[in-house]
Chain A
């Protein structure tokens, strides 16, 4: 057993996938010698060569568009988008081509492409480096959207995403790249890619979260113990498709829910979860489903990001409100 960081978990996962399948390619900007701006691909080009770890021109649509062609040729490209806010030049290729190819071809063609996107705030970055665009992808049929929240998940989820025959948008919580945990590679993954995980059992209310907010919510749950509250924390892991069964089971147990994400408030994943829970668990609820999220503004300059992002206090405030009904 070794203790590894979340970034290293993805690196080891990529390495394992490349060793297992010679059709797996990694492509993106600065991913070769530099190992990516977050060093997630460190050492891969040295070991797998420039034909499998491809430093691309600085053109995001080109990264995804050529990945489409490579996938049609039988490859399984893993594309790195350097930062969340830089994915938009490739958005057309992702939603019009990657997402729809299987559908347009009536099932004859497949797009086993993984698009890795470091996302979210909290690292003091300049603009366009701290976005949470997950809803924009989750709304598109044909894509699957996931976010890892801890190093062990990072290691397994990237491999599961690569083996998926559907295209996967793989969000990596950049401010958690250096969080560490014990990884035992010989123990098979406990969860399939599209299953949520109860990371803390509780009885009074459920915090639903993913990616960078998993740690925040676990801390909030610990802090809430002092107030005599026993919170359940569910790491959604998958945003599209949502694991509704796990969500409903938890709500039926705790009867109260707060959804926590960095993405803006309106029409975010929290909106969908609130609607689903209302439709399916109406008679179980003691309170409306609340959301603790970013605001409906563009992401602010970094000096203000601590105000913008949900933190321990805002999550606990949300818990207070949901318990107040």
Chain B
């Protein structure tokens, strides 16, 4: 084949080895793991989990609550209260582990599935629903929680994160691994194919920006499997851009915490970007609009259920840390409470007014738009006057 390309020496086209297929359900992949699916703590030469069992109980609580939030939101969608929901089911460890590794001054740029990270950053779960209910496009103030608005356009936020990190550099907020600032960008395996993500890698690399690229490889971009996005493990792409990449068991909250913490430290101290590939699995649909039974095998799901991120922590806590049933029951009750509040809040969420939306198109509203706003208001009011007249 290479000989048919004139002007190029055959060795330029040295045969590529057989495509590296993504691991099938029966295979194991190489990654950083500190807690096995059976709940056993294991060592890794480069990464260690340095918190105590109380912290692990906290992670268990966080994961249980965000799963409950997710279940409730899915139910709300099925009952017609949300137009759409993007479930995080199965990705709780990737999000809680990485989210809990953040410092107060670090900044998060999420995609639209980071409900667990939002929870870690203190965003009211109710605020996550507005976008999906169709009453707003992000009701929280990103500056209050250092958690940017959800970004729907795939991968766009990785550039925003890189730019923000360049701002942290210019503010001299980088240089100390403990007090320095870092930025983290979340994206999925599908987004890794986007130009913006690759441009973000280049910008981050050449400017040595303090940004961590956190890819949750959940194996599926709607119906397209990972082998439609890449022929090599995603974390290996980082080397081509000139910074380290590491793959972590995305269903292991201890490992995602340890790996993210180290990547953030590198960023904060001024050593530049890291790509973290959290190898996980999206247990549900991409969103409530698709039907995964049309595109993937039920055996795969059964296989991944055995790797459940919450069950393994529960097993560890119960068997090795002497945590009793009371604790688990308490967490369940708290999760139910959060879900009940979420449901109440969702149903009570007021519809916005068109006037608000005219108001926020510009900081400095053009006269012409003010005219349109007033025309709308007069038109809307005319219906009120009519119905009053008829009544």
Task: Pick the contact of A194: B142, B160, B366 (CB < 8 A).
Answer: B366
Q: Is B98 an interface residue (CB 8 A)?
A: no
Minimum CB–CB distance for B196 against chain A, Å: 6
* A50–B363 alpha-carbon span in the complex (Å): 30
Q: A102-B363, A109-B142 are in contact. Are A61 and B136 (CB under 8 A)?
A: no
Q: Is A271 an interface residue (CB 8 A)?
A: no
Query: Contacts of A105 on B, CB cut-off 8 Å?
Result: 137-138, 141-142, 149, 360
Minimum CB–CB distance for B246 against chain A, Å: 24
Q: Which residue of A lies closest to B357 (CB)?
A: A103
> What are the interface flags for A65-83 relative to B under an 8 Å C-beta threshold, 1 for contact and 0 otherwise?
1111111111100000000
Contact B361 A141 (CB under 8 A): yes
* A66–B163 alpha-carbon span in the complex (Å): 4
Interface size class of B (residues with CB under 8 A): 35 or more
Q: Is B368 an interface residue (CB 8 A)?
A: yes
A interface list, Cβ under 8 A from B? 25, 51, 56-57, 59, 61-62, 64-75, 89, 92-93, 96-97, 101-110, 141-142, 144, 164-166, 194, 240-242, 244-245
Task: Pick the contact of B171: A73, A97, A106, A244 (CB < 8 A).
Answer: A73
Q: Which residue of A lies closest to B161 (CB)?
A: A69
Query: Contacts of B137 on A, CB cut-off 8 Å?
Result: 103-106
Contact B364 A65 (CB under 8 A): no
Q: Which residue of A lies closest to B164 (CB)?
A: A69
Task: Pick the contact of B163: A69, A102, A144, A244 (CB < 8 A).
Answer: A69
Q: A104-B138, A105-B142 are in contact. Are A65 and B156 (CB under 8 A)?
A: yes
Minimum CB–CB distance for B152 against chain A, Å: 8
Q: A62-B199, A69-B162, A97-B156 are in contact. Are A241 and B148 (CB under 8 A)?
A: no
Top 7 A-B pairs ranked by shortest CB distance?
A69-B163, A65-B159, A73-B167, A66-B163, A241-B366, A69-B164, A62-B199
Query: Contacts of A69 on B, CB cut-off 8 Å?
Result: 109, 159-167, 183
Query: Contacts of A110 on B, CB cut-off 8 Å?
Result: 363
Contact B199 A57 (CB under 8 A): yes
Q: Is B208 an interface residue (CB 8 A)?
A: no
* A242–B109 alpha-carbon span in the complex (Å): 35
Query: Contacts of B160 on A, CB cut-off 8 Å?
Result: 65-66, 68-69, 72, 97
Query: Contacts of B364 on A, CB cut-off 8 Å?
Result: 164-166
4 additional contacts (CB under 8 A) given A69-B161, A70-B164, A194-B366? A68-B159, A70-B163, A96-B156, A104-B137
Q: Which residue of B lies closest to A107 (CB)?
A: B360
